[in-house]
Structure 1
């Protein structure tokens, strides 16, 4: 059931890991991060070292929980090397005995759900199954890797409207089944693609997809009780990919389009993982419960909670001040170094992406 989209099970771990260890593309990817000098000069040797390393580490990995513990170790290392602080709040709003559908804003391809998972893991709450779009799974080994780490597939590349509707119905059914029958927490981003401009807005089509499995005879309030949607506000003091996002937004504004390079998504994942992020904060909000008129009303309720609970940093406030022509000295602006070597248009976009959360909070007051 749901075999084409579900995460792998414990009885599939050994076979998938064996296949991954022997995957040259994965070996090369890890070598480029962990052994950059050797990989550049003697790539085959670097791949061999990675393969041997993976073989040794895999001897202790026999289940999905084992994989999650390995991921947690890597996350702790990442936080120590790329974050000045990691904090979270609102755990008391989560009933550990009732599965939750966490819907968060989306800033980083991998780390958004990773930080949510870490907060849950440290609090003794079951980690999530995470939604990942098939547009990011351009290689079979990437799909295998994600499904080993409790990810399920969101099909976005179906060719016809009928196929897309079928895929959406299947996904809606899978999410409800996983929450109600498997008693497993789920995470999904509030929209497809990262909020590169800093505007966190839930796509109502996502909510419509979730309601496809409801059935006409049931009311929205009853179904929301079963889904137990908990909005999550994820706040990064600094975005390691901010300059790339600014260049993309400026290019789209100037020409109407932006064409990704072949390895751009992978490069963004890598930069997001290792780049300096400053303080990262996770805020779990109150569940979305009650009667709503439609998907748009539910999406708006999620947005309100995420915006209200988003943690603002000096980086956000200073960008807001600059855009509002409030005098800010170079020494006072934490974004100063990030603005270097960008065009005027690109600098404007970088400031805008940091300032937009402030604008959003201001709009809630009006």
Structure 2
């Protein structure tokens, strides 16, 4: 029997074996894995290698019969990706999370895959159940991608709907599902604070998302609904963004032409670079849960901004970028990087920052600088109790 959330929910344990069997014979997935594993041989021997990859995949995945077992299988690969692409990951605020309680984690959004992956990794290693992940349908164009994401506790946010009535119905369903997951099933949720990545480094909460949480419980006061969802602000800080050059190019194109059209496969390239590209140090800060004192979505959005921006970890590169940013504000009294960081740490950061600047076309550099400088401006405005 069809359930009300079947079109968007993650797969459950009973569905895992059938979905894995489907993936093991999916020609697109096998072709992608063959190209990744044997890049030099694919064009000549792809016809022979694909069945072998499929066979090995079936053998590897045969014992897996639940979502938890799949996540346990994936964990070493995530660990390896983190080890290869970062200089270490740190956390703060995990001690605030209680076992047996479900939360609505709302985070700033810089990377398509790694943002929720890092939050998952933190929660998993704290011995708590991983959250279900909100993912836009624009990233699920191919069936095997949708299957992979829904196996890993992702649920679908329909963003590509155009009609007003259809959009409203989609938001209503999403609201009902999030409330049902947290309140009835005791399953936590991860969602980005706004649709799309903050490509300019200016992390802001979209109040429309907060209003959406309330849609399915309109007969209850807004403050009570938000207070009952266990809303936790999460600040995700990357020392370096692997996609910063691509973001600078997009921002420059938008500023000079008024629009930007993604090239075919651009999202796939961003996902791959976001996973494998060098990030330096990464810090995940879990903030204090938002209580029931806020009367409307705008107030909650402002409070979320204050907490997410305040919890962002600033690295030497952020101060180096701020020092050369045309938009810096004298009244904020931002210290120089040399006043805050040791000689060795600063020298390493300066070398990496100069490398990134020189790799960026001159006309696009202001947009590269902006990405790293904005978090400094925002955090010091909070410290000075100035409006954001």
Q: Could you say whether these structures have the same fold, taking a TM-score greater than 0.5 normalized by the shorter chain as the test?
A: yes
Equivalent pair of 2:228/2:292 in contact (CA under 8 Å)? no
Question: Aligned partners of 1:155, 1:357: CA distance in 2, in Å?
Answer: 30
1:72 and 2:90 are equivalent in the alignment: no
1:225 aligns with 227
2:342 aligns with none
- What are structure 1's unaligned runs of at least 5 residues? none
1:87 aligns with 90
How far did residue 196 of structure 1 move? 0.6
2:333 aligns with none
TM-score for both structures, normalised by structure 2: 0.90
Summarize the Cα distance change of 1:251–1:118 in structure 2 as closer, same or farther, 3 Å threshold: same
Paired residues, what number? Answer: 365
Summarize the Cα distance change of 1:330–1:351 in structure 2 as closer, same or farther, 3 Å threshold: farther
Task: Say which of 359, 362, 370 aligns to 1:352.
Answer: 370
Question: Aligned partners of 2:39, 2:315: CA distance in 1, in Å?
Answer: 33
Equivalent pair of 2:207/2:297 in contact (CA under 8 Å)? yes
2:341 aligns with none
2:14 aligns with 11
Equivalent pair of 2:87/2:279 in contact (CA under 8 Å)? yes
Question: Aligned partners of 1:106, 1:346: CA distance in 2, in Å?
Answer: 22
Question: Aligned partners of 1:316, 1:333: CA distance in 2, in Å?
Answer: 14
2:304 aligns with 302
Question: Aligned partners of 1:243, 1:20: CA distance in 2, in Å?
Answer: 33
Summarize the Cα distance change of 1:267–1:225 in structure 2 as closer, same or farther, 3 Å threshold: same
1:317 and 2:319 are equivalent in the alignment: yes
Question: Aligned partners of 1:94, 1:84: CA distance in 2, in Å?
Answer: 26
How far did residue 40 of structure 1 move? 5.2
- What are structure 2's unaligned runs of at least 5 residues? 329-335, 339-345
Equivalent pair of 2:242/2:273 in contact (CA under 8 Å)? yes
How far did residue 111 of structure 1 move? 0.6
Summarize the Cα distance change of 1:309–1:16 in structure 2 as closer, same or farther, 3 Å threshold: same
**In the TM superposition, what are the counterparts of 1:1-366 in structure 2 within 5 Å?**
1=3, 2-39=5-42, 42-216=45-219, 218-323=220-325, 332-364=350-382, 365=384, 366=386
Question: Aligned partners of 2:54, 2:36: CA distance in 1, in Å?
Answer: 14
Report which stretch shifted further, 136-145 or 336-345. Answer: 336-345
SS in 2 for 1:62: coil
Question: Aligned partners of 1:71, 1:106: CA distance in 2, in Å?
Answer: 23
Question: Aligned partners of 2:353, 2:303: CA distance in 1, in Å?
Answer: 32
Summarize the Cα distance change of 1:317–1:22 in structure 2 as closer, same or farther, 3 Å threshold: same
Deviations 1:301-327 (A, max 9, x none): 111100000001111111111215989
Question: Aligned partners of 1:60, 1:109: CA distance in 2, in Å?
Answer: 29
Report which stretch shifted further, 27-36 or 131-140. Answer: 27-36
Question: Aligned partners of 2:261, 2:17: CA distance in 1, in Å?
Answer: 38
TM-score for both structures, normalised by structure 1: 0.95
Equivalent pair of 1:330/1:336 in contact (CA under 8 Å)? no
Question: Aligned partners of 1:91, 1:241: CA distance in 2, in Å?
Answer: 28
Question: Aligned partners of 1:111, 1:31: CA distance in 2, in Å?
Answer: 23
Equivalent pair of 1:39/1:45 in contact (CA under 8 Å)? no
Deviations 1:171-197 (A, max 9, x none): 100000000111001100001111111
Question: Aligned partners of 1:114, 1:14: CA distance in 2, in Å?
Answer: 23
Equivalent pair of 1:229/1:288 in contact (CA under 8 Å)? yes
SS in 2 for 1:335: helix
Question: Aligned partners of 1:37, 1:187: CA distance in 2, in Å?
Answer: 38
Equivalent pair of 1:6/1:152 in contact (CA under 8 Å)? yes
Deviations 1:179-232 (A, max 9, x none): 01110011000011111110100111101111112223x222321222110010
Question: Aligned partners of 2:367, 2:47: CA distance in 1, in Å?
Answer: 41
